[in-house]
Amino acid sequence: MKQRPSFPARLDVTLAKNRPNTVGSPAVPAARVAAPVPVASASGRAKPAPQPPVSQGHGMESSALRARMVQKLAAQGISDPLVLGAMGSIERHRFIDSALINQAYEDTSLPIGLGQTISKPGVVSRMLELMRNGQSGKLGRVLEIGTGCGYQAAVLSLLATEVYSMERLRGLHDKARENLRHLRLANLHLLFGDGMQGYAKGAPYAAIIAAAGGEAVPQAWVDQLAMGGRLVAPVVTAGTSGSAQALLVLDKTPQGVRQTILEAVHFVPLKSGVA
């Protein structure tokens, strides 16, 4: 039996060219969408800038705002039609506090409680596109580390046949469950537990995506990644005080673990245990 490659392996540091190190805002050439985006009310016609929605609780008509958000993501360089379609299908405003509802479709991170945030749509779509790695159809089983408010888990459910999403903070786990209830996603499983341990019962995973960054990827994640699978996560960059992070893409191949460092990002720290 071939010996499992040790980890952490030496990083194959390949800095993305033509991408400034601006946090959460990778500058990539604009690309045309390869296929029509399945978003309600999205069309090829130019739309006037929507007026701020009138909100009552979490009730708002967001189809035009979602279509506009998808157009902006495509202009930023996101070209995977499944990713764009999923981003346009899930109502982001349902996952944030009603006081912030008018910022729901802006490319900004927002607080969700307990010191955590919902990531920018641009960062979410970038990581999902990296995770899919040009696949034409849905991925198989996917593990998400850090459910947060549940938004990315909902998007993932449209990109994979089965999703396991783990959250270490009980308050957020309960909030995500409530936020997702209306969608009735049969292929999404929410788990409360220590994300650093992964979820061995669901392994192997075609892909793993994390919403928190540590100094190294936990060995459990690498063990639970299927051969040929891909992991996308923020990591603390070498030689920093622990605050600077960059996106890591890890591919598990028969020849060993291949890692590539991309643009700078900013996520909450990866922590062990539950709370």
> Residue range 57-77: average pLDDT?
88
pLDDT confidence tier of residue 223, bands split at 50, 70 and 90: very high
125 catalytic, yes or no? Answer: no
Q: Where in the chain does DSSP place strands (E)?
A: 110-113, 116-118, 139-145, 160-167, 188-192, 205-210, 212-213, 225-236, 245-253, 256-265, 268-269
Give CA–CA dist 100/215, Å, rounded: 32
Residue 212 identity: A
The answer on pLDDT for 266 being more than 50 is: yes
- Is residue 36 within 8 A of residue 44, CB to CB? The reply is no
> Residue range 129-143: average pLDDT?
97
Give CA–CA dist 266/234, Å, rounded: 8
- At a CB cut-off of 8 Å and minimum separation 6, what does 60 contact? 53, 54, 93, 101
Q: What percent of the chain has pLDDT over 70?
A: 77
> Residue range 186-213: average pLDDT?
98
Give CA–CA dist 152/86, Å, rounded: 10
* Structure token pair of residue 140: 């198989």
Give CA–CA dist 19/30, Å, rounded: 13
Reported pTM: 0.79
In whole numbers, what is the pLDDT of the chain averaged over residues?
83
Q: Domain locations in the chain? A: 109-269
Q: What percent of the chain has pLDDT over 90?
A: 75
Lowest mean pLDDT, pick from 53-67, 197-211, 218-232: 53-67
CATH no. of 109-269: 3.40.50.150
Q: Which of 62, 79, 109, 119 is catalytic?
A: 119
Residue 99 identity: A
